[in-house]
Amino acid sequence: MQYFFPLIGVIITAYLAYYFGVRSYFKQKEYEMVKERYLNESLDIICANLDNSLSEFRDAWGQSFGNLKLFRDLGDNTKIELYNFEINKVTQKSMGIQAFYRLKYLLDNEIFWNTVQMAYAFVIVSLTFIDQDLNAAIKLNLVDDSPIPKEKRLEIFIKYHNELVKMHHESKKYYIVLSYLLNVSQILESERFSFKELKKFRDNEEVIGIVEKIKNLFKDELASKKEIKQFYTE
């Protein structure tokens, strides 16, 4: 008997160590699965795709601004080969719909789906304008054999310069959306959630604050979108 109770104690201790070790292992695996699904396969994808689209806009914007200045300063004294008219296409296919479904579940809100759609629409419309309007206007004048008066060059420059400035200002709000998406990613990355606890994420004060800030930033666009939706559903 003198060895029985110590032996039982050893067995119980070993069992508890095994039980809590296994339990800790599976909880850790669940935390990792949550981050894989909602961070790596959702937020990270959305951020990367939006960043790429905005980068295409930024490159095209800078390129077209350079073309416009070259046309203003030298006009028909430059060869068309010196201009860079190449524009990469952006489509909404690159948004990653599945990633947004996961984000909607995570936040119980469609705010990022709505605003990122606006961002893609902005980029697509802007690239189309640069390619088919601004660049086309420069090309049309360059292929004409007659000299281009300085006044006409200045008129074209002012017209398209003003449009580019408008684009630049409008693009700022979409970079803010990207920054807020990255903030949400950082919050999720710093927390440990099981699948059962995941609904608590949307109640995080920082997350609620981010959602409200985006709603305020896009209040006019979201109100217009709501009115259009009501019109077609009534």
**pLDDT at residue 172, as a whole number:** 96
| pLDDT at residue 152, rounded to an integer | 85
CA torsion sign, 180 to 201 to 118 to 98? positive
List, as one string, the DSSP characters of 6-41: HHHHHHHHHHHHHHHHHHHHHHHHHHHHHHIIIIII
Question: What are the angstrom distances between the C-alpha of 164 and each of 55, 60, 200, 211?
Answer: 15, 11, 43, 29
Q: What pLDDT is recorded for position 170? A: 95
pTM: 0.81
Instruction: Provide the pLDDT for residue 232.
Output: 33
Question: In the prediction, which pLDDT does 81 show?
Answer: 79
For the chain, the domain total comes to 1
According to the model, what pLDDT value does residue 223 have?
A: 82
* pLDDT at 89 (0 to 100): 84
The token pair at 124 is: 């697509």
Domain that holds residue 74: 4-233
| pLDDT attached to residue 39 | 87
DSSP state of 191: S
Per-residue pLDDT tens, the chain, 234 aa: give them. Answer: 454 445 455 455 544 444 444 445 446 566 678 788 888 889 999 999 999 999 999 999 999 999 999 888 886 667 777 888 888 888 777 777 889 999 998 999 999 999 999 999 999 999 999 999 999 988 888 777 677 788 888 898 999 999 999 999 999 999 999 999 999 999 988 887 777 888 888 888 999 999 999 999 999 888 876 544 543 344
Distance (Å, whole) CA 106 – CA 120: 22
Place of tokens 């420069």: 138
